[in-house]
Amino acid sequence: MYYIVESGKSFDQASADLEAAVKNHGFGVLHVHDLGSTLRGKGFPFAEECKVFEVCNPGQATKVLSTDMRLNMALPCRISVYTEQGKTRIGLIKPMQMLSALSQEPALIQVAKEVEEKTILMVDEAR
């Protein structure tokens, strides 16, 4: 269900490279949640770094929402860059498995397959 790779890059470099890879593959970054900073800013001792990138391809999102509006709750796709025990990792929940749990619509399975292929390429490129 997950696709996670380890990167030899720093957290900051992997984050910057992911953002570039997202754009290179025709998606946009809608928002970046810096969970590590947010938790520390709220007074919680959190040693790891974690940024969650909300990414979207408008054409694919339109296909999904036009077919089943309830799936707005599963959009946009999220790709995370995080540290764990001194290692930088980049990962996502595979869209095909997630979407197939929410809908059996054949057209949506094809969209999820296309999005999954692209998001995995982004992760691999940023690695």
Task: State pLDDT tens for residues 2-42.
Answer: 999 999 999 999 999 999 999 999 999 999 999 999 999 99
Q: Please give the residue range of the domain that contains residue 69.
A: 2-126
Tens digits of residue pLDDT in 94-117: 999 998 899 888 889 999 999 999
Q: What is the mean pLDDT of the chain?
A: 96
Look at the chain and report how many structural domains it folds into. 1
| pTM summary value | 0.94
How far is residue 33's CA from residue 11's CA, in Å, rounded to a whole number?
A: 14
User: Which CATH number belongs to the domain containing residue 88 in this structure?
Assistant: 3.30.310.70
CB atoms within 10 A of CB 92: 23
Q: How confident is the model at residue 85 (pLDDT cuts 50, 70, 90)?
A: very high
- Give Cβ neighbours of residue 102 (< 8 Å, ≥ 6 apart): 70, 71, 74
